[in-house]
Chain A
Amino acid sequence: MKPKLWSWLVFLIGFAYFALPLIGTLEFSLRKRRGEYSLDAYAWVFEDPQFRETFGYSVVMALLTIVFGMLLVVPTAYWVRLKYPRLRPLFEFITLLPLVIPPIVIVFGYIRLYNTSSFLPMTGTTFGTNMLLMFGYVTLSLPYMYRAVDTGLRTIDVRTLTEAAQSLGAGWVTIIGRIILPNVLIAVMSGAFVTFAIVIGEFVLAALLNRPAFGPYMQLIGANRAYEPAALAVIAFAITWFCIGLMQLASRMTPQSRAKRS
């Protein structure tokens, strides 16, 4: 067999592996009406007020997570690169911890630390619990956000740009806001969209903190209905793809890439 044929065969197997379950889910989600394809399951999902509420809640949480994540990660990664490059492995290890510590452990830790009888009773109010959930999401997205930003910082000469800005009279806020952040914006955006996808589908933290998020809603529908969970899965997929599309678009919106195209 020629090598080219082999590559095609591998490609087809890979494609089938990824595409068949999706096609199967899509096909199943359209079979709510007996004997014909219909969008009834989608209509039911979109009409369900709980879908709109939980989805809206998760989108707001995702956006807040991105903003707080950015405020935490960009200055930290920048500072580590600039002042403590030797500590980079330590920070990489710390930011990897959420991948090896299960969310259930994190959330039980939070509940023990921040319950109503603790020194910081965050779970005592709805606002406090929402904040706690958001901080939990920031923690979960840390491995992706930190790596994305750190990779972005690697593409620029952080030290020299900082010194150039300092010699022109700029303070730290100006340097991070006007020089560092715009230059790692694409990296921050890619981290942001991964964060968005994580938050939209997250179940454990939201369920155990008893917040009306999209993850527990998907679980609830999955346990009680037949075709609607498949429709929800397709919607969730569409959202993820939409995010990736946005990411691509964002990377084309920077002044440099606009200038390159013109």
Chain B
Amino acid sequence: MSFLSLDQLRKSFGATQVVKNFNLDIEQGEFVSLLGPSGCGKTTVLRMIAGFESPSHGVIRIGDADVTARRPNQRNVGMVFQAYALFPNLTVAQNVAFGLKVKGVGKAQSAARVAEMLSLVGLGDFGKRYPFQLSGGQQQRVALARALAVQPQVLLLDEPLSALDAKIRVSLREEIREIQQRLGITTVFVTHDQEEALSMSDRIVVMHGGMAQQIGAPHEIYSSPANRFVAEFVGRLNVLDAEVTDAAQGHVSVGGIEIPTGRPLTPGTVPLALRPEAISLGPAPGHDISFTGTVTEVQFLGSVIRVGTHMGGAPVLLDTFNRTGRRPPQLGEKLEFSFNSKGVILLE
């Protein structure tokens, strides 16, 4: 049986249903991300787990207990907020000790736990400072230490990295994941940043319109998107309209370039998708489809060069590594490109 279970969750605000029949089972120690655009219902799901919103329908179970009707302060759920939410009148140590004091933990035991938590987040010497004396990243570390100090059954992270600058965001997400794995705490992470979700999670729930569009491991979500929304939302994608040339064999054509899809199709037009990194410059081992195109765009992104061209008349982007000594493609240059037909994603 799963550790955290969300069964048929629904939530309406007035006439608007923001979460529709949401089901999710999370194992103990698992890190699950709710990923989706603004307004997809991911934060509402998180707030229902925390108890800040009550579901219009459905059941939330933590461990063996049905916590649906429990108040937020009776759920033993730790939460980290986007806006840090540190208590401005308390020092860092007092902030971390807050939950312990509420629980009635003794002073000596509480002090030891605070020291342990602060050293866990690398802020051992910051106990006497006030939140306003810390940087955003440090404040969020304190918030994490505070949430973990009470040994919650579930840790909820509500876009904790969104307010931080890019470099801190990357280092802190690595730190959060490492701490989560070390403590083995069941974690639900809400984000709209696919890179964060892909890099941190055991599983990702891609949400749209109040529903889970796909639940799976990061590589499954990326490589085998369940539908067009998931394919377009996670990673970059070239979407091409293909003409079905042999429905039984599953062959399609994009501007005269024949592509086998390996599965029967219905006659007509089907949308195909190709990840930019699936197309390579020149022939490559295992690539069975090649085409010639004129370079229409070159974006230098450091380790990667993004090249724009046309495939059978349709614009496509491809990513190629910036290799030392190799000249980047030039605008207007006519080059050969190739890809493996197995890398083609059929969008439903």
Structural contact, A165 and B98, CB atoms closer than 8 A: yes
A174 interface hit (Cβ, 8 Å)? yes
The docked-state distance in angstroms from the alpha carbon of A168 to that of B71 is: 12
B83 interface hit (Cβ, 8 Å)? yes
Q: Of residues 150 to 175 in B, which have CB atoms within 8 Å of A's CB atoms?
A: 150, 156
Q: Which residue of B lies closest to A258 (CB)?
A: B130
Q: How far is the CB of A107 from chain B (nearest CB, A)?
A: 39
A255 interface hit (Cβ, 8 Å)? yes
- Residues of B near A249 (CB, < 8 A) are none
- Residues of B near A170 (CB, < 8 A) are 73, 98-99, 102
Structural contact, B130 and A168, CB atoms closer than 8 A: no
A48 interface hit (Cβ, 8 Å)? no
Structural contact, A163 and B52, CB atoms closer than 8 A: yes
Structural contact, B99 and A169, CB atoms closer than 8 A: yes
Binary contact track B60-84/A, C-beta < 8 Å → 1, others 0? 0000000000011111111101010
Structural contact, B133 and A167, CB atoms closer than 8 A: no
Structural contact, B73 and A169, CB atoms closer than 8 A: yes
- Complex interface: stretch among B30-38, B85-93, B189-197, B220-228: B85-93
A156 and B73 in contact, given A168-B146, A259-B133 (Cβ under 8 angstroms): no
Structural contact, A167 and B72, CB atoms closer than 8 A: yes
Binary contact track A149-176/B, C-beta < 8 Å → 1, others 0? 0000000110011011111111100100
A128 interface hit (Cβ, 8 Å)? no
- Residues of B near A167 (CB, < 8 A) are 50, 72-73, 75, 77-79, 147, 156
Partner of A164, one of B71, B74, B87, B130: B87
Partner of A168, one of B91, B98, B129: B98
The docked-state distance in angstroms from the alpha carbon of A179 to that of B88 is: 8
Contact count band on B: 20 to 34
B182 interface hit (Cβ, 8 Å)? no
Contact count band on A: 20 to 34
Structural contact, A156 and B88, CB atoms closer than 8 A: yes
A256 interface hit (Cβ, 8 Å)? yes
A248 interface hit (Cβ, 8 Å)? no
A115 interface hit (Cβ, 8 Å)? no
Q: Of residues 109 to 151 in B, which have CB atoms within 8 Å of A's CB atoms?
A: 129-130, 132-133, 143, 146-147, 150
The docked-state distance in angstroms from the alpha carbon of A178 to that of B147 is: 17
A183 interface hit (Cβ, 8 Å)? yes
Q: How far is the CB of A146 from chain B (nearest CB, A)?
A: 22
For the A-B complex, the count of residue pairs with Cβ-Cβ distances under 8 Å equals 79
A118 interface hit (Cβ, 8 Å)? no
B103 interface hit (Cβ, 8 Å)? yes
Structural contact, A259 and B102, CB atoms closer than 8 A: no
- Residues of B near A183 (CB, < 8 A) are 87-89
Structural contact, B88 and A256, CB atoms closer than 8 A: yes
A102 interface hit (Cβ, 8 Å)? no
Structural contact, B132 and A168, CB atoms closer than 8 A: no
The docked-state distance in angstroms from the alpha carbon of A179 to that of B133 is: 18
A256 and B89 in contact, given A167-B73, A168-B102 (Cβ under 8 angstroms): yes
- Residues of B near A116 (CB, < 8 A) are none
- Residues of B near A117 (CB, < 8 A) are none
A165 and B87 in contact, given A171-B73, A255-B130 (Cβ under 8 angstroms): yes
Q: Of residues 30 to 63 in A, which have CB atoms within 8 Å of B's CB atoms?
A: none
Q: Of residues 46 to 63 in B, which have CB atoms within 8 Å of A's CB atoms?
A: 50-52
A109 interface hit (Cβ, 8 Å)? no
A124 interface hit (Cβ, 8 Å)? no
Q: Which residue of A lies closest to B104 (CB)?
A: A169
A164 and B85 in contact, given A169-B73, A174-B102 (Cβ under 8 angstroms): yes
Structural contact, B50 and A254, CB atoms closer than 8 A: no
A85 interface hit (Cβ, 8 Å)? no
- Residues of B near A178 (CB, < 8 A) are 87, 98
A182 interface hit (Cβ, 8 Å)? yes
The docked-state distance in angstroms from the alpha carbon of A174 to that of B146 is: 17
A163 and B99 in contact, given A168-B146, A183-B89, A255-B130 (Cβ under 8 angstroms): no
The docked-state distance in angstroms from the alpha carbon of A254 to that of B90 is: 11
- Residues of B near A260 (CB, < 8 A) are 132
The docked-state distance in angstroms from the alpha carbon of A156 to that of B156 is: 22
The docked-state distance in angstroms from the alpha carbon of A51 to that of B77 is: 59
Structural contact, A164 and B89, CB atoms closer than 8 A: no
The docked-state distance in angstroms from the alpha carbon of A129 to that of B72 is: 44
Q: How far is the CB of A153 from chain B (nearest CB, A)?
A: 13
Binary contact track A161-203/B, C-beta < 8 Å → 1, others 0? 1011111111100100011001100000000000000000000
Structural contact, B102 and A256, CB atoms closer than 8 A: no
The docked-state distance in angstroms from the alpha carbon of A256 to that of B134 is: 13
A179 and B102 in contact, given A164-B79, A168-B150 (Cβ under 8 angstroms): no
* CB pairs A–B below 8 angstroms (11 shown): A163-B85, A164-B87, A166-B51, A167-B73, A167-B147, A168-B73, A168-B78, A168-B150, A169-B74, A178-B87, A182-B89
13 new A-B contacts at CB < 8 Å, known A161-B87, A169-B99:
A156-B88, A163-B72, A164-B79, A164-B86, A166-B51, A167-B75, A168-B98, A169-B103, A170-B73, A171-B73, A174-B102, A179-B87, A183-B88
